[in-house]
């Protein structure tokens, strides 16, 4: 059985939980407490030298890290990752966008506000993240005004990658009511069969 080292409150980890639920993949979820320093131990770094979650352990003891790499591995051969080379490249396009132009703004603003409690020394950084986050949301809004999903005509791992932090973007100070197409897309994803929420796994 797969083992996932993660924290469900992290959007990067939630991506993996969501896909595993959609695909009925049996797994053990091992809770890692980031704020408690559990990613920084030698034991954890032997699993992921970059000291981050999510980290997936395969049945033969191989470790795979980087959330979007994990999604590509788990979705191989399923409808969530089509075979067509252009569609696959478009999925990667949105996943690289997510990691470079979306997550560093929206996830970090949310982390500062929700998990660190907005300490004075990080307020400026929080404010600085707002512009980049709004820019990323505008890019998504434009795409979703023309299409129900980010790639092709169906739900793929590109949607999972971007759903993870977009659906909790309000916790980082972003007003999703300003983005009609994104709001409709979020509702569409949440209504998919076998959808799971972060909350249902929060202890």
The answer to whether 34 contacts ligand GSH (rule: CB under 6 A) is: yes
Bridge-partner residues for 63, per DSSP? 57
202 burial type by CB count under 10 A (0-12 exposed, 13-18 middle, 19+ buried)? exposed
Nearer to ligand GSH, 96 or 154 (CB): 96
Lookup: tokens for 20: 């595993």
Strands of the sheet with 63-65, listed across from one edge = 27-31, 2-6, 55-57, 63-65
Is the Cβ of residue 12 or residue 166 nearer to ligand GSH in the bound state? 12
53 near ligand GSH, rule: CB under 6 A: yes
Contact 30, 5 (CB under 8 A): yes
Binding-residue total with ligand GSH (CB under 6 A): 12
The verdict on 156 binding ligand GSH (CB under 6 A) reads no
Strands (E), the chain: 2-6, 27-31, 55-57, 63-65
Shortest distance (Å) from residue 138 CB to ligand GSH:
22
56 beta partners: 4, 64
Residue placing its CB nearer to ligand GSH in the complex, 50 or 83:
50
For ligand GSH, which residue of 8, 19, 47, 67 counts as binding (CB under 6 A)?
67
Taking the mean position of all CA atoms in its chain, how far away is CA 114?
17
Among 21, 99, 101, 130, indicate the residue that binds ligand GSH (CB under 6 A): 99
Binding ligand GSH (rule: CB under 6 A), the pick from 64, 66, 104, 188 is 66
Chain contacts with ligand GSH (rule: CB under 6 A): 10, 12, 34, 39, 51-54, 66-68, 99
């Amino acid at each position: 059985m797969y083992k996932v080292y993660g924290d469900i409150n992290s959007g990067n980890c939630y991506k993996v939980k969501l896909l595993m639920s959609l695909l009925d993949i049996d797994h053990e979820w091992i809770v890692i407490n980031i704020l408690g320093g559990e990613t920084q131990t030698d034991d954890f770094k032997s699993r992921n030298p970059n000291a981050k979650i999510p980290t997936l352990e395969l049945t033969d003891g191989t470790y795979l890290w980087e959330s979007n790499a994990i999604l590509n591995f788990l979705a191989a051969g399923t409808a969530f990752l089509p075979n067509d080379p252009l569609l696959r490249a478009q999925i990667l396009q949105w996943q690289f966008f997510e990691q470079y132009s979306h997550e560093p703004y929206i996830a970090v603003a949310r982390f500062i506000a929700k998990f660190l409690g907005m300490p004075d020394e990080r307020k400026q950084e929080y404010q600085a993240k707002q512009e980049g986050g709004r820019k990323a949301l505008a890019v998504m809004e434009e795409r979703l005004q023309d299409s129900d999903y980010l790639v092709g005509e169906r739900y793929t791992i590109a949607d999972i990658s971007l759903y993870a932090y977009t659906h909790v973007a309000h916790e980082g100070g972003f007003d999703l009511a300003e983005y009609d197409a994104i709001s409709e897309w979020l509702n569409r994803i949440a209504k998919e069969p076998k959808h799971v929420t972060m909350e249902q796994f929060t202890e």
